[in-house]
Amino acid sequence: MFERFTTEARLTVVAAQEEARALHHDWIGTEHLLLALAAQPETASGAVLTRYGLTHDVVTDAVAGHVRGTDLDADALSTLGIDLDAVRSSVEAAFGPGALDSAGRRGHGPGNHIPFTRPAKKVLELSLREAIALKSRSIGDVHLALALLRAGEGLALKVIHDRGVDPLDLRRDLTAALAS
């Protein structure tokens, strides 16, 4: 399947791995694919994502917020008498800034394999189906973006919904970008 990927699509998959490493994640999820697409505003999919306000910075903040936990998590712990900010500050004072971000995420330096999550694998498979459905000869970055929407699961889709983006509108504009 990867032999049908365009240069942009291959670079997106490689960039997704780099996004996972940068966030100290030991997995490559749909969120990392979305981050990689958003980091390339010069590509067709990146330009469409940017028009919808899904820039790399916005997506990074949204992903970090979901992975770290929500205010609801902090509120729930607070009812038990646990101040999450105090715990985080205490750990960072003892072990250094970002200590909680990298806990348990060692061994994934450059060159080390980071596995794809099941939803991310599904996106890669669906990108081929998108290319076939649109009668494309190769799989490009737009097909990856369309597959993110088609997968119906994963943090990327949650980020898109949370930003108030209608996936059907996004799909329409991505398909139009492919046609132009």
pLDDT tens column, 37-71: 999 999 999 999 999 999 999 999 999 888 765 45
Per-residue b or e along 60-79, where b marks 16 or more CB atoms closer than 10 Å to that residue's CB = bebbeeeeeeeeeebeeeee
How many other CB atoms are there within 10 angstroms of residue 7's CB atom?
10
Which tokens is 78 given? 């607070």
DSSP structural state of residue 103? T
Q: In which band, very low, low, confident or very high, does the pLDDT at 73 lie, cut at 50, 70 and 90?
A: low
pLDDT at position 46, please?
97
3-class secondary structure per residue, 40-69: CCCCHHHHHHHHCCCCHHHHHHHHHHHHHC
Name the phi and psi angles at 146, rounded to 5.
Answer: -65, -40
> Which CATH entry fits the domain spanning 2-68+106-179: 1.10.3720.10, 2.30.140.10, 1.10.1780.10, 1.10.357.10?
1.10.1780.10
Output the pTM of the full model: 0.78
What is the tens place of the pLDDT at every residue in 120-164?
999 999 999 999 999 999 999 999 999 999 998 999 999 999 999
pLDDT at position 15, please?
96
Query: Between the CA atoms of 152, 155, 161 and 162, what dihedral angle is there, to the nearest 10 degrees?
Result: 160
